[in-house]
Amino acid sequence: MSTPNCLVTNDWICGEYLRTRSEELTEATLQHVGITVVSVLLALLVAVPLALLVRAKPRFAGPVLGLTTLLYTVPSLAMFSLLLPVFGLSAALVVTGLVLYALTILVRNTLAGLDAVPAETREAARGMGYGSWRLLWQVELPLALPVLMAGIRMATVSTIALTTVGSVVGRGGLGNLIEDALPTFFKAQVLAASVLCVLLAVTADLLLLGLQRLLTPWARIRTAPGGA
Amino acid sequence: MGIVTDAWAWLTTGAHWTGEEGIGQRLAEHVYVSGAALLIAAAIALPLGLWLGHLGRGGALAVNVSNVGRAVPVFAVLALFMVSPLRNAGYVPTVVALVLFAIPPLLTNAYVGMREVDRAAVRAARGMGMTGGQLFLRVELPLARPVVMTGVRSAAVQVIATATVAAMVGQGGLGRIITAGFALYDTAQVVAGAVLVALLALLVEAVLAGADRLLSGPARARGMKT
């Protein structure tokens, strides 16, 4: 168990590995974070207008919800393989696939959040002379925020996990390290990359939870008993 | 639409269905690992979630376990198994990875379903002198069933779609059709593999929904009598 030899003896935990490959680990982590952030932001940019469209024109509800649910049954492995002819080997390919998956969660939660806005609140705002944009920005979206943020947290955590599958086209962040380590049974690298993946997801979840609490100070009192 | 006809042609070629690497074998592997994983995950997560929901305690625990569970990539779990001696244990690595993956949605929905039961109904049942067990079986469980079953269906769809990831570490299942097609630059085969997985997922979802509807009849009648 002498430390310098743990690369040779192929130990699960290897300080020497973490020291000598820290650059590689950082690079993979940054790629992972980049892919996740871009994917979730793009998905949000698509999901919120889609949800608003569905709410304004209920006849779109069936097709939009049906399509996003159907997309969810397409295996990630196949999704990335199928997008390959369109994008070539690029991060855009993985991002596109992840955006499509995140849409399912985000469209549903945006709709659920908007539905949860009490009708009286809406009426009161209208009575005070709020136009539909001001109503949306100042009343409906803030009140929908807790449910929307729950969706963003769920989408972010699953996107971080799914990004690893992007290693099938060489753009999987930490997944690349896992894939590279498999043929040589390199335990330290598989474990380090896996643990980093989980840590990333947990950190992102906690950061988003903090953001949610900052954005919705009025909800803090109500959520406190349930969360304890 | 050329790719769709190519995929159809690939699927309808008899030779692709037989043999060690054929669709028949891969489909059987896929159904086996997904089915085993779902049954084991349900056996663990449903009693626990229902029980915690009945007690009305441990909600934070159930939800946190689910969130952490969602954060663990199936690919990473499989890879960890494949670099350990368990790689020679046949289907065990895939099944265990999928069990871990299926527990979060099952646990969350079982717990949430129980907590969303109308408190007035629970108080009324208590007022009628029902014991904890009676309350659970005759009031809470029938009322929570739709949410719990939604969790089961969504877990089934996710497990079937995710079981393909096993192919990335060389394990069996329909994912192997996709990875083989990918390696051969055969897009038709990749599409065919994806279609098979999606069809299996939708079929299982429909069967579960149908079974749920059949079972709900007697349960509702029994609820009425008491």
Query: pLDDT of B62-113, one tens digit each?
Result: 777 777 788 889 999 999 999 888 888 889 999 999 999 999 889 988 998 9
What's the structural domain count of chain B?
1
Is B87 or B1 the better-scoring residue by pLDDT? B87
**What is the average pLDDT value for chain B, to the nearest integer?**
87
Please give the Cα distance from B47 to B128 (Å, whole number): 25
**Which residue in the block uniquely carries the two structure tokens 């793009």?**
A42
**Contact A167/A223 with Cβ under 8 angstroms?**
no
Q: How many contacts, defined by CB atoms under 8 Å, are there between A and B?
A: 131
A102: which chain B residues are within 8 Å (Cβ-Cβ)? none
Q: Please report, rounded to a whole number, the percentage of residues in chain B having pLDDT higher than 90.
A: 42
Please name the member of A78, A167, A197 whose beta carbon is closest to the beta carbon of B194.
Answer: A78
Q: What is the ipTM of this complex?
A: 0.83
Q: Which amino acid is at A177?
A: L
For residue A65, what are its two tokens? 């919800």
Res. B1 pLDDT band, cuts 50 70 90: low
Q: Which domain holds residue B63?
A: 2-225
- At residue A12, the 3 state secondary structure works out as coil
pLDDT in tens, B130-153: 988 899 888 998 899 888 998 899
* A105 part of a folded domain: yes
CATH number for A53: 1.10.3720.10
pLDDT in tens, B8-66: 888 888 888 888 888 989 999 999 999 999 999 999 999 999 999 888 887 777 777 77
A158: which chain B residues are within 8 Å (Cβ-Cβ)? 70
Is A227 or B209 the better-scoring residue by pLDDT? B209
Closest CA to A115 of A59, A52, A43: A52
Mutate to test the interface with A, among B168, B171, B191, B205 (most CBs of A within 10 A): B168
CATH number for B151: 1.10.3720.10
Tell me if A228 and B60 make a contact (CB, 8 A cut-off).
Answer: yes
Mutate to test the interface with B, among A12, A67, A81 (most CBs of B within 10 A): A81
* A1 part of a folded domain: no
Closest CA to B138 of B122, B116, B152: B122
Q: What sign for the dihedral angle of Cα B138, B139, B142, B147?
A: negative
- The whole-number pLDDT of residue B218 equals 58
* A224 part of a folded domain: no
Please name the member of B70, B187, B193 whose beta carbon is closest to the beta carbon of A157.
Answer: B70
**Which residue in the block uniquely carries the two structure tokens 């997944």?**
A175
* A223 part of a folded domain: no
**Contact A102/A71 with Cβ under 8 angstroms?**
no
Quick one: which H or E segment has residue B201?
helix B187-225
- The whole-number pLDDT of residue B207 equals 94
Q: Which domain holds residue A176?
A: 23-218
Q: Which amino acid is at B140?
A: E
Q: How far is A16 from chain B (nearest CA, A)?
A: 19
- The whole-number pLDDT of residue A4 equals 56
What's the structural domain count of chain A?
1
User: pLDDT tens string for chain A (228 positions)?
Assistant: 444 577 887 888 888 888 888 889 999 999 999 999 999 999 999 999 999 999 888 898 888 888 887 887 788 888 888 888 788 888 899 999 999 999 988 999 999 999 888 999 999 999 999 988 899 989 999 999 988 998 999 999 999 999 999 998 888 999 999 999 988 888 889 999 999 999 999 999 999 999 988 988 877 665 554 443
- The whole-number pLDDT of residue B221 equals 47
